[in-house]
Chains A and B, each alone.
Chain A
Amino acid sequence: MRLLRADKIRRVLSALLAVVMIIVCACAMTGCGHRDEKEVRVFCYGDYIDPAVVKSFQKETGIKVVLDTYDTVEEMYPVIKNRAGVYDVICPSDYMVERMINEGLLAEIHTESMPHYKNIGRRYLKIADESYDPGNRYSVPYQYGVAGIMYNKKKLGKDSVTSWNDLWRKKYKGKILMQDSLRDTMGISLKSLGFSLNSVKEKQLAAAARHLIAQKPLVYKYANDSARDLLIGNSADLGVVWNGEVLYSQKLNSDLAFVVPREGTEIFIDSWCIPRNAFHKDNARKFIDYMCRADVAYRNFEYLTYSTPNDAARRMMPAKLRNSEILFPSDKMLEKSESLRDVGPDGDELYSRYWKIFKSK
């Protein structure tokens, strides 16, 4: 009798468990069936939109914004790819846009129906067109930036840094900061050797890894976000930072200068895209168009202080910012620069292998 009952309980329990799991799985796949028409689901880098902008969008359009965030696009990619979450607007970087286009994960944006799209500068659309998004059909640039070297002009001397190879100078031993980011750091090494930062030639990658290994004893730290703070706090004298960090840093330490090395540099463009499986494509277009509006883009610029590809917003800035070579590199410099391209699974594996060889030395 007892045995029978225990058996029954076990069956009930496993049935219950199965039901719970089915509900959980179903929720994950369909987003629990929330197909509210007055909603837009945005998946974006953390702290990448002025919260006030999100609020005013909701107020002006009546469309509710559900905002989720990620730290790296590599975290976002499997979520979209495996349909683990359904989003209407995502914000991938250049090479990720390319990968997602190639895998058919994105929907065309149809910018002709977006009145504020014209605010986006031609030169940025050209970069996108020529590299990761031919025809500008799938992405609308939101923020961009270039990598460069920030250095302490009081300690190293004015204009003493002009080339990526200055990061390999023995006399700066223990004072150099490098980025700790696979593609960016390998890219800088490739660029300093005169190769393309999208190279997939094994010989060139091996040379870049060797170059980085040779530099390792000179480097104080491989740092991403903290690089800026170490330079501000005089713990290091020169390091690789993004131009968006410079204005803030100079405010705190007026000895800091920024240069885009003469070999050309890496330019990143983060863009708005609409996933193919989005539920609210019209709301997504409204949201993206709103982000292109001059005053909105300007507010986002004030919040982030990263370079904006929105020319109308640039015209609203005070002259000092508008004409800043740091925020807005010259056309000549942009022509020498490259954005990261998707190198495909085999390329990724190659990069990953040489990165690990460099890191474990």
Chain B
Amino acid sequence: MSKKYCAVPFLVWLAAGTVIPFAMILYYGLTDRTGAFTLNNILAIFQPIHGQALGLSLLLALISTVICLLLAFPLAMILKDSNLGRRGFIIFIFILPMWMNFLLRTMAWQVILEKGGIFNTVLAHLHLPALTIINTPAAVVLGMVYDFLPFMVLPIYNAMMKIDDSIVEAAYDLGAGKSTVLRRILLPMSIPGIASGITMVFVPSLTTFVISNILGGGKIYLIGNIIEQEFTTSANWNLGSGLSLVMMLFIIVSMAALNALDKNGEGNFI
């Protein structure tokens, strides 16, 4: 009995933090300025300007997810093979930046990459040509990879550590080569980790507006930037909410797709 009363604060939290805000977004998204029902805010995603921004967001999020995966998977494999003390230290190094504010880390990249920034000053001293990736999509992808890489490393590492070493040894005993072990054992068994890693990188990359603002120099216009602008400067909450609903749909679809992969429920969010 009393256990159930303990749930009250969480129910309140759920109502105040999820149900009510979602209901408000739903209300704003499905009405126009006068409060009349409309689907225009949702259908606005098919306007070329919004569609383009969504396309670019999907592309950049996809690229950074793939890069994160390509970096994180080998790292997890290396960590699995290395001895215990070093392993803990390397994971610690990876998590360390997460102790710092995400905004500060992104701004630090801005200072590093700026035309008169640290990186180019060093290059100039070495008589090398300057690097001009700041304010381009490449800088935004770099920011996404840097900010979200730990979210890919940790779940894959966890999944990889759960694989019993004796299974791998048995495979070698039965004559499997390294690539066969990777293909038939390590990869399939770490799929739950990969799936949750992909969601945890893809979703924030898709919706970010801070990274594109700071590293894109106002030239890279992602769907997150449009939504932010509708709320802060255009004062069109209805359109902003409508586009947010469309984004939610994209996120739910991508999570459901990954969930189907992740049969053990490692990254079970839905």
Binding site for B on A (CB under 8 A): 5, 9, 13, 16-17, 20-21, 24, 71-72, 74-75, 77-78, 174, 178, 180-183, 216, 219-223, 230, 233-236, 345, 348-349, 351-353, 355-357, 359-360
Residue contact A78 to B237, C-beta cutoff 8 Å: yes
Inter-chain CB contacts under 8 Å: number: 89
Residue contact A230 to B221, C-beta cutoff 8 Å: no
Of B12, B134, B135, B236, which is within 8 A of A348 by CB?
B236
Residues of A within 8 A of B1 (CB): 5, 9
Question: Known interface pairs A17-B12, A236-B115. Does A221 touch B135 (Cβ–Cβ under 8 Å)?
Answer: yes
* Interchain nearest-CB distance for B20 vs A (Å): 8
Distance A220 CA – B139 CA, assembled complex (angstroms): 14
Distance A180 CA – B49 CA, assembled complex (angstroms): 18
Residues of B within 8 A of A233 (CB): 114, 116
* Interchain nearest-CB distance for A318 vs B (Å): 33
Q: Which of B168-195 contact A (CB under 8 A)?
A: none
Residue contact B226 to A356, C-beta cutoff 8 Å: yes
Question: Known interface pairs A221-B217, A223-B217. Does A349 touch B236 (Cβ–Cβ under 8 Å)?
Answer: yes
Question: Known interface pairs A182-B233, A352-B234. Does A360 touch B12 (Cβ–Cβ under 8 Å)?
Answer: no
Residue B105 is within 8 A (CB to CB) of chain A in the complex: no
Distance A351 CA – B33 CA, assembled complex (angstroms): 17
Residues of A within 8 A of B218 (CB): 178, 180, 221-223, 359
Interface majority SS on A: helix, strand, loop or mixed? helix
Residues of B within 8 A of A75 (CB): 232
Residues of B within 8 A of A236 (CB): 115
| Interface size in chain B (residues, C-beta < 8 A) | 37
Residue contact A13 to B233, C-beta cutoff 8 Å: no
Residue B4 is within 8 A (CB to CB) of chain A in the complex: yes
Q: Which of B219-240 contact A (CB under 8 A)?
A: 219, 221, 225-226, 229-237
Given contact pairs A17-B12, A355-B229, enumerate 6 new A-B contacts (beta carbons under 8 Å). A17-B15, A180-B218, A220-B135, A221-B218, A356-B229, A359-B49
Distance A127 CA – B15 CA, assembled complex (angstroms): 48
Residue contact A359 to B4, C-beta cutoff 8 Å: no
Residue contact A220 to B115, C-beta cutoff 8 Å: yes
Distance A216 CA – B220 CA, assembled complex (angstroms): 11
Residue B16 is within 8 A (CB to CB) of chain A in the complex: yes
Residue contact A13 to B11, C-beta cutoff 8 Å: yes
Residues of A within 8 A of B93 (CB): none
Residues of A within 8 A of B231 (CB): 74
Residue contact A220 to B235, C-beta cutoff 8 Å: no
Residue contact B217 to A74, C-beta cutoff 8 Å: no
Residue contact A74 to B15, C-beta cutoff 8 Å: no
Distance A102 CA – B108 CA, assembled complex (angstroms): 44
Residues of B within 8 A of A21 (CB): 15, 20
Residue contact A235 to B114, C-beta cutoff 8 Å: yes
Residue B38 is within 8 A (CB to CB) of chain A in the complex: no
Residues of B within 8 A of A71 (CB): 232
